[in-house]
Amino acid sequence: MASTTNQSQFFEKELGLSGSDLTDACEIDALLSSLNLSQSPFAKHPFAFLISAGSESLPILWNSYLQARGVDESEALAALDAIACILMSGGNEEYIEVRVRTELKDTKAINLAAALAKCLALCGDDELMREQVTLLAHDDPAISAMAAQLLGYGRYQPALPALHAMISPQFFLQSKAVIWAVGQIGSLDSLKVLSNCAQSGFRTTACLEAMGKIGSLLALPSLIGFILQGSAEETKAALGSLAQVLHENRDEGETLQLVRKEIAPILVQMLDTASFSKEARISMLICLSRLGVTLERQNFSRYLGLSLSTTQVDQVASYFMNRKH
């Protein structure tokens, strides 16, 4: 099953961290506080409480949007973003789809129209999806890229042949959005296309991240190849995607035992190499935890490249040694 998150969202969801947090002067406190698993990934959203309540909050959020749309655009956008968060978590599409479709036809504000279109795409609105497939061929790369994004949000499988054909330097300006959409749709048929593109050197990191979102163990040979032989950025992307794939498949016990024999020794050895970023190290630790590898607690300071107290080591180790998070 494909993941609905990109790598940065994966780290925010799993660890409550963004890339900037990992290099911040307060990174130890940030890392430790992030291991509070009861914290919602939407904790910092202005409508966090309503998002956590799920579908039952949709009428309230929709009314908040209607009240704010002509008065406070930022408030209206926040309400639509909260609706999108609920829809991405499997919220009630029926309530919102008809309302958003009607509102989108009448909206003149560009930012609001884009947010409404995202919500409608997340509902899988067939009319909108078919329209976006046509817009992929638009002469304006910005319009084409937006169409690709909406198809990704809608996870619209019929668009894949057209999207695959656009993973090419010929469509350079929109190619990153196209690759993102392919990963979001999450079809196994896309793995070979993405792997070939990554091997060719075109949009390599984007392709690796998309492979992680697809979430299939079939991506492992390509990911491991870039972990061992890629540039620093490619290795980091491949490690992040490997973490996503292993997380998605963490209950595949027998299969993971075979994977563990091949990958675990490599990752443990890499943790002792000083050149890797903290984000890459966190990916390695997530991978090892999902593989059920037990690491020595006293080594976590070295693994993360951080100076940790005994209490902090215990907190960090407790998280990373639990493969089910």
User: What single string gives the DSSP state of each residue in 157-190?
Assistant: GGGHHHHHHT-SGGGHHHHHHHHHHHHHHT-TTH
DSSP 3-state assignment of 248?
Answer: helix
Task: Provide the terminal-to-terminal Cα distance of the chain, rounded to the nearest Å.
Answer: 17
Q: What does the domain layout of the chain look like in residue ranges?
A: 43-123, 217-325
Total Cβ atoms within 10 A of residue 39: 12
CB 168 within 8 A of CB 138: no
pLDDT, one tens digit for every residue, the chain (325 residues): 455 556 655 555 544 444 444 443 345 555 555 544 345 667 789 999 999 999 999 999 999 999 999 999 999 999 999 999 999 988 888 899 999 999 999 999 999 999 999 999 999 999 999 999 999 999 999 999 999 999 999 999 999 999 999 999 999 999 999 999 999 999 999 999 999 999 999 999 999 999 999 999 999 999 999 999 999 999 999 999 999 999 999 888 888 999 999 999 999 999 988 788 888 998 999 899 899 888 888 888 888 887 878 888 888 888 787 655 5
